[in-house]
Amino acid sequence: MKEFFGLDDDWERPLPEGWFKRDALIAGVVFLSALLGLEVFRASGALSSGALSSEWPRWAIALAAAVGVAPLVWRRRFPVTVMVLTATHMFVAGVTQPAVMANIGMQAAYFFAIFTALAWARDRRIVFLAACGVVIFMFGWLAVQWSVASMRDELVASYQGNGSREGALFGPGAAAVLYGLMVNVLYFATAVGAGAVSWRGARARARAVEQAHTITRQADRLTEQAVVEERLRIARELHDVVAHHVAAIGIQAAAARKLMAKNPERATDSLSNVEASSREAVTQMRALLGTLRAEGQAGASGAKDAGEGETVTARTPEPGLSNIAALVDEVRSATFDVHLDNLVDVDVPANIGHSIYRTVQEALANVQRHSTATAATVTLRTGEERNARYVEAEVLDDGRPRSGTSGSGLGLLGMRERVTAHRGTAEIGPRLTGGYRVRVRLPLDAAAKTKETA
């Protein structure tokens, strides 16, 4: 019962727009129905004789009906008060003017008031207690009426009839009381039940709308989060690209300056490397920044106008394991030697290969910027541990930290984030024997499973 009537529910049904006009219109229709019902009684002679007879003038009877219907104008704003007022009118009119109380229009008004109280009341406990009080009072009043001799005689007369009563289970008096009881139980139970069902339906719709809004807000937050994560990824990529190429350009330019007078040919090679590195940096930055453009600006043909007289090439494939050799050649110079050992003998997924490439790129850039090392070794290998395959990249150098070259930390942060994203492990830091080590190990089996379930 608590759940059905919402006795412990704090939800309040909001008033709809234009509720007053609609309720005033409903009250007007019910009042006209009550007047029509009174005229039907008058036409049938019920107002001149019998239990519904009345000596009141027509205007007084109409006024009594109007007093009973008027509270319906505020039925949704003050539902419990309207129910109590109409129940009081039902009792008073039933005692003084039975024709007003009994006609179909006023019965609809009483029913509507009880229904509205259960459907719109904000305090569910108060409306439940008030409805119980009204129902108990009404049935008590009916019991008193049925116990009065004149009323009982009228009931018996109305059910007596002139036909045979052979085989009847009870007499006309009991039949009249039982029929009245059945009608009133159905009347009040339907009004209370329909009102409670209406309230529950409104609450369910409100919760569905709220859940829809919540889902929409969560979807918007997830979209924003995805955009932020993508921008952070691009920021890390840009950091790796710029840091690596600027460091490479600096190393090659320094070598060219030193060799310009002694060995012009080697100086020319270093300057060529500077040119190639700068072009590669611009190409990769354009490819990364292209992902920030709107989806509709991505051209399937591989080119799209970026503005007046400017075109941007389509995004190139992300570099992977196969591009590390070219990366090492780009970094290698007359003053900085890099040796590559590629021991990978299996196919590596593109996302794993890209993370390995960026790790090696950042590690070599850090050596060039922050170390006194003149050489570095890059080792790529695969292996198996606890029945799980992995690919590993290790970058070693023999230098010492260079003073005054502390970085932002974004490069190392990007390495660790990539390792975490692939559920791998990382070992980054100085070696006991001197130099610095960057070693990351990314599981291949987990990557394959992720690809299969995607």
> What CATH number does the domain containing 332 carry?
3.30.565.10
Residues 202 and 331 in one domain: no
pLDDT exceeds 50 at position 308: no
d(CA 269, CA 292): 35
Could you read off the pLDDT of 335-358 as tens digits, one per residue?
A: 889 999 998 988 888 889 988 988
Task: Give a three-class secondary structure readout of 130-143.
Answer: HHHHHHHHHHHHHH
Domain membership flag for residue 258:
no
Q: Total structural domains in the chain?
A: 2
Please tell me whether residue 45 adopts helix, strand or coil conformation.
Answer: coil
CB 444 within 8 A of CB 382: yes
Q: String of b and e for 71-100 (b: at least 16 CB within 10 Å)?
A: bbbbbbebbbbbbbbbbebbeebbeebbbb
Domain membership flag for residue 111:
yes
Mean pLDDT within 415-422:
82
Q: Which of 168, 120, 176, 101 is nearest to 146 (CA)?
A: 176
Residues 208 and 340 in one domain: no
Residues 87 and 214 in one domain: yes
CB 328 within 8 A of CB 368: no
Which domain does 132 fall in, by range?
2-160+171-219
Domain membership flag for residue 242:
no
Query: Which long-range CB contacts under 8 A does 89-97 form with residues at least 24 apart?
Result: 90/138, 91/137, 91/138, 91/141, 93/64, 93/68, 94/141, 97/54, 97/56, 97/61, 97/64
pTM above 0.85, yes or no: no
| pLDDT of amino acid 371 | 86
408 CB-near residues (< 8 Å, 6+ apart): 239
d(CA 350, CA 345): 15
Q: Which amino acid is at 123?
A: D
Terminal alpha carbon distance of the chain: 48
* Residue that has been written with the tokens 């690209």 in this structure: 241
Domain membership flag for residue 46:
yes
Residues 332 and 211 in one domain: no
CA pseudo-torsion sign 278, 276, 396, 347: positive
Residue 235 tokens read as 């920021």
Regarding predicted confidence, which is higher, 317 or 191? 191
d(CA 177, CA 239): 91
pLDDT exceeds 90 at position 390: yes
Mean pLDDT within 14-38:
91
Domain membership flag for residue 305:
no
Residues 211 and 346 in one domain: no
Domain membership flag for residue 314:
no
Residues 143 and 7 in one domain: yes
pLDDT exceeds 80 at position 177: no
| pLDDT of amino acid 437 | 93
Domain membership flag for residue 257:
no
Domain membership flag for residue 269:
no
* Residue that has been written with the tokens 């500077």 in this structure: 274
